[in-house]
Amino acid sequence: MWSVSEGSHATAAKLAPKVPMNETRSMASEKETPVRFQISDLNFFYGPKQAIFGLNLSIPVNRVTALIGPSGCGKSTFLRTLNRMNEIIRNTRVEGNISLDGQEIHGMDVVNLRRRVGMVFQRPNPFPKSIYENVAYGLRINGYKGRLDDLVESSLHRAALWEEVKDYLHKSAFALSGGQQQRLCIARALAVNPEVLLLDEPCSALDPVTTAKIEELMFHLKDSCTMAIVTHNMQQAARASDFTAFMLDGKLIEHSETSKLFTTPKDPRTEAYITGRFG
Amino acid sequence: MSDPRIMWRRALNYVMLTLTGIAALGVVSVLFFILGYLIWNGGKSLNWNFFTQLPKPVGETGGGMANAIVGSLKLLMLAALMGLPVGLLAGVYLAEFGGKTFSFVVRYTTDLLNGVPSIVIGIFAYSLVVLPVKHFSALAGGVALGMMVIPITVRSTEEFLKAVPGSLREGAMALGASKWKTIVTVVLPAAKAGILTGMLLALARVAGETAPLLFTAFGNRFGSPGFGQPTASLPVMIYTYAIAPYDDWHRQAWAAGLVLLGLVLVANLGARLLLNRGGAVRSV
């Protein structure tokens, strides 16, 4: 009897250090400017066609980093390398390093990575299920055994949707408006408590009022979440982000604090783009 | 107005419109003609006994086809058990996993299998199941019908899965779902109504097959418990009764035809209802 319980204690002690998340989080917060994603010398290929050229970028913890640039400059492709979503596409290849809290993401279990790095897409893509089941989906597939109700409610609160849907939780998600659906998708991503939220033009299909709601929601999420947002809307980048990266033809042209990039851009191409001379 | 070219164009327009209309009317009237004829001839002999009684010995009038109705349902159940899972999984493979070359081969083969004459399928099932055990059985008939169910199910499943927007797959995978989990928890539920419809139509399609049953399930004048004995089915019963020299049998053949057609119509209506209620593919 005793030896059995001792044995199980020993196993628990051995297992404990294998959970690196809290450790790296505390390490990061001790630093001066903690970095969540460190990207170095990133190249990306669709078959023979190179889409990203030698990109270096760091994405700071609990800040919003905006990625701007003309269509086809590779900003969405770049965003999708951060949770390895490009792996779904055949014949793609990545070179270079991407580390999340100091850990190379290509060595990670992809399920684990995507649990830590959530994503919101351009068009709202709720599942053909109830509002409740949409939010609970990530928890269910990850085998979460606790009380779902509380987490569903808190996730909907964080996505600023709770008040609008609390009486319709078991109605189909398709009954919601486009903006509500997009916030539902944000709530769905937040439910698994990700460290990072990737937003791929989340407002391009929404009206200005809803867009403002989502920007406000992003502002509040900064307490707990690192965000990277791809946007075509430069006002949005200026309003909602702390750092902005400008990309052109698969290369990172300029990256600095948003206020600096929009007022005193160093590169003439950045200036041309933000003043609307191309793109 | 009097320009002959304009008048010619108008006349041609009118003629073609009429021709297409007549053709369309022809299509509809063929079904209604068959249905009317069946009801006229079969309705007279259709009574409660038809559903509850076994066939009477030659020379006696009356009796029914309870054994054939049960037999047909048994055969369809076997065909569903054997054909639907294979068809569903292969359809999932084609829509979700398939590469280029192998998928092409599978798709092409499926279409060929769909085109194989049903009598040939029957011979195949005969040599596969009947010859080794040396007697006809419901199992053999089920195998033959199951083989016909597969290609229809494969292609309809594939089509309905392909209609599910890719954004749903991405959404699930971005939450950490594996590909298989994405398919099971999101893609298949989204296409559920469509896939079930395809399955129902596949079964309705083979319900009326006669040729593959002639030397597999064969036939039986009595009920046949289990799946290892020769089994009566509606289509084969119609064939046997229609070529027999007795008026009473002819009437019963008509009644059987009416029942069979009713079965198929109900399946079709059910499929249509499923589609309307759930939508072929539920998406944004």
Kindly indicate whether the ipTM for this predicted assembly is greater than 0.95, answering yes or no.
no
Residue B156: per-residue pLDDT: 95
Residue A19: per-residue pLDDT: 39
pLDDT beyond 50 at A7: no
Q: For residue B253, what are the domain limits?
A: 48-278
In eight-state DSSP terms, residue B233 is: -
In this structure, the answer to whether residues B56 and B83 fall within a common structural domain is yes
Residue B220 resides in a domain: yes
Chain A to chain B Cβ contacts (< 8 Å): 74
Whether the CB of A144 is below 8 Å from some CB of chain B: the reply is no
In this structure, the answer to whether residues B9 and B69 fall within a common structural domain is no
d(CA A181, CA A126): 7
- What is the residue type of B52? T
Number of domains in chain B: 2
Residue B99 resides in a domain: yes
Whether the CB of A157 is below 8 Å from some CB of chain B: the reply is no
Substitution target from A86, A125, A200 for chain B, most B beta carbons within 10 A:
A125
Contact across the interface for A128 and B174, Cβ inside 8 Å: no
In this structure, the answer to whether residues B187 and B217 fall within a common structural domain is yes
Whether the CB of A85 is below 8 Å from some CB of chain B: the reply is yes
Contact across the interface for B284 and A141, Cβ inside 8 Å: no
For all residues of chain B together, what is the average pLDDT? 91
Q: Give percent of chain A above pLDDT 70.
A: 88
In this structure, the answer to whether residues B36 and B89 fall within a common structural domain is no
Contact across the interface for B174 and A127, Cβ inside 8 Å: no
pLDDT in tens, B184-240: 999 999 999 899 999 999 999 999 999 999 999 998 888 888 888 999 999 999 999
Lowest mean pLDDT among A144-153, B65-74, B107-116, B158-167: A144-153
In this structure, the answer to whether residues B40 and B53 fall within a common structural domain is no
In chain A, what residues touch B169 (CB-CB under 8 Å)? 88
Query: How many Å lie between the alpha carbon of A117 and the closest alpha carbon of chain B?
Result: 8
In this structure, the answer to whether residues B11 and B70 fall within a common structural domain is no
For all residues of chain A together, what is the average pLDDT? 86
Instruction: Look up the pTM and report it.
Output: 0.81
CATH code of the domain in which B272 resides: 1.10.3720.10
Residue B243 resides in a domain: yes
The sign of the CA dihedral B244, B245, B246, B251 is positive
pLDDT beyond 60 at B60: yes
In this structure, the answer to whether residues B39 and B93 fall within a common structural domain is no
Q: Give residue A30's pLDDT band: very low, low, confident or very high (50, 70, 90).
A: very low
Kindly report the backbone phi and psi dihedral angles of residue B226, in degrees, each rounded to the nearest multiple of 5, phi listed first. Answer: 75, -165
Of the candidates B174, B189, B284, the beta carbon closest to that of A114 is on B174
In chain B, what residues touch A204 (CB-CB under 8 Å)? none
d(CA A130, CA B151): 34
User: B17 Cβ partners below 8 Å, 6+ apart?
Assistant: none
In this structure, the answer to whether residues B111 and B9 fall within a common structural domain is no
Helix (H, G, I), strand (E, B) or coil at A128: coil
Q: Give residue A58's pLDDT band: very low, low, confident or very high (50, 70, 90).
A: very high
Q: Are strands A226-230 and A196-200 parallel, antiparallel or unpaired?
A: parallel
Search chain A and give the residue with CA nearest B182.
Answer: A141
Of the candidates B185, B282, B283, the beta carbon closest to that of A141 is on B185
Q: Give percent of chain B above pLDDT 70.
A: 97
In this structure, the answer to whether residues B74 and B115 fall within a common structural domain is yes
Residue A17: per-residue pLDDT: 40
Mean pLDDT of A240-254: 94
Whether the CB of A241 is below 8 Å from some CB of chain B: the reply is no
d(CA A152, CA A164): 14
Contact across the interface for B176 and A124, Cβ inside 8 Å: no
Residue B283 resides in a domain: no
Whether the CB of A115 is below 8 Å from some CB of chain B: the reply is yes
d(CA B12, CA A279): 53
In chain B, what residues touch A195 (CB-CB under 8 Å)? none
A231 near A67, Cβ under 8 Å? yes
In this structure, the answer to whether residues B15 and B139 fall within a common structural domain is no
d(CA B110, CA B97): 17
Search chain B and give the residue with CA nearest A193.
Answer: B175
B193 near B280, Cβ under 8 Å? yes
Q: Give residue A33's pLDDT band: very low, low, confident or very high (50, 70, 90).
A: low
- Look up residue B89 and give its two tokens: 């999984």
pLDDT beyond 50 at A27: no
Contact across the interface for A125 and B186, Cβ inside 8 Å: no
Residue A279: per-residue pLDDT: 60
Instruction: Determine how many CB atoms are found less than 10 A away from the CB of residue B112.
Output: 10
Q: Burial of B16 by CB count in 10 Å (0-12 exposed, 13-18 middle, 19+ buried)? A: exposed
Q: Give residue B271's pLDDT band: very low, low, confident or very high (50, 70, 90).
A: confident
Instruction: Determine how many CB atoms are found less than 10 A away from the CB of residue A99.
Output: 18
